[in-house]
Amino acid sequence: MTKYLRLFRVQLGISVAQAMAYRANFLLEGVFGIANALLTLLPLIVVYAKADEFNNWTYPDALVVMAYFQALRAILEGVISPSLVDLVQNIRNGSFDYVLLKPVDAQMLVSAARYEPWKIFDLLFAIGLAVYAFMLRGYPPSVPDVVFGLALLASGAVAMYGLWIICAALAFWVGRLDNLMFLLGSIFDTARWPVAVFPGIWRLFFTFVIPVAVMTTFPAMAILGRLEPRQAVGTLVGAIALLAVSRVVWRAALRSYTSASS
């Protein structure tokens, strides 16, 4: 285990060093990230300008979901997505061979191969947004709720990672699927809304088929102190199940890797 932690640290160090070599670019990306985060926020503001609440979701509560969404998107675009884009490319041109040759688990090695450190700005924005939302609510969350909310943020990230690994593993069979990642990204985009504002069938779809609700709405409900124990258990079990399924799919996919170059 410590071996893997050391590995992740080294990989992070390399990415940070690379990013710091282009400092102007680093800051520019940060500015873009914040601008993009503000643009993401606008539709929510517009919709809530016309009514105080939708299906029991007030504006500050919806902002907390948005904060979770922005935080998860920062994790997705900062860690998961760049690594897996590299993976798909390596599978296509055959350099995945070199990954397999190394004496560590291949999934571990590719999962955090490349970071985009400037996404830290997005993460900071998300934290600021959550703080602002609780200021609007008028009272801070209780300590257990914060702990619980952060735990479910982690489980949301795990669920997201599982889903993305499954998607990336498909590249072993079909070769080209850069845009499948785009598709997944555009579905993930719905996670910015509390799942309760969607009609019934979509709610089921986003909870059970492509569980974006598990990633943002339920963790947000946890920190807001309105998550029922049943839903909490479901969220955690769901995340672990997705992780397990992704491991199975990954191993099956690995067996059918034929290498592109040799």
Which residue's CB is nearer to another protein, number 29 or number 61?
Answer: 29
Least gap, CB of 139 to another protein (angstroms): 27
Least gap, CB of 39 to another protein (angstroms): 3
Q: DSSP assignment of 102-163, as one string?
A: SSS-HHHHHHTS---GGGHHHHHHHHHHHHHHHHHHTSPPPHHHHHHHHHHHHHHHHHHHHH
Residue 5 token pair = 């932690």
Which residue's CB is nearer to another protein, number 120 or number 146?
Answer: 120
- CA gap 38, 36 in Å, rounded: 5
Q: What angle do CA 163, 68, 107 make, to 5 degrees?
A: 30
Least gap, CB of 42 to another protein (angstroms): 6
Q: What angle do CA 25, 31, 37 make, to 5 degrees?
A: 135
Residue 169 token pair = 């593993």
H or E element that contains 197: none
Per DSSP, the three-state class of 224 is coil
Residue 164 token pair = 């993305």
Give the amino acid at 157.
A
Which residue's CB is nearer to another protein, number 2 or number 179?
Answer: 179
Answer left, alpha or beta for residue 138, where phi above 0 means left and psi between -120 and 50 means alpha.
Answer: left
Least gap, CB of 150 to another protein (angstroms): 27
- Interface ranges with another protein (CB under 8 A): 22, 25, 28-29, 32-33, 35-36, 39-40, 42-43, 46-47, 49-51, 54-55, 174, 176-177, 179-180, 182-183, 186-187, 189-190, 193, 197-199, 202
Which residue's CB is nearer to another protein, number 40 or number 107?
Answer: 40
- CA gap 95, 14 in Å, rounded: 19
Query: Bridge-partner residues for 54, per DSSP?
Result: 57
Least gap, CB of 199 to another protein (angstroms): 5
Alpha-helical (H) ranges within 176-223 are: 178-188, 200-204, 212-215, 217-223
Which residue's CB is nearer to another protein, number 53 or number 105?
Answer: 53
- CA gap 167, 13 in Å, rounded: 27
Q: Match 């600021």 to its residue by tokens.
A: 128
Least gap, CB of 112 to another protein (angstroms): 21
Least gap, CB of 186 to another protein (angstroms): 5
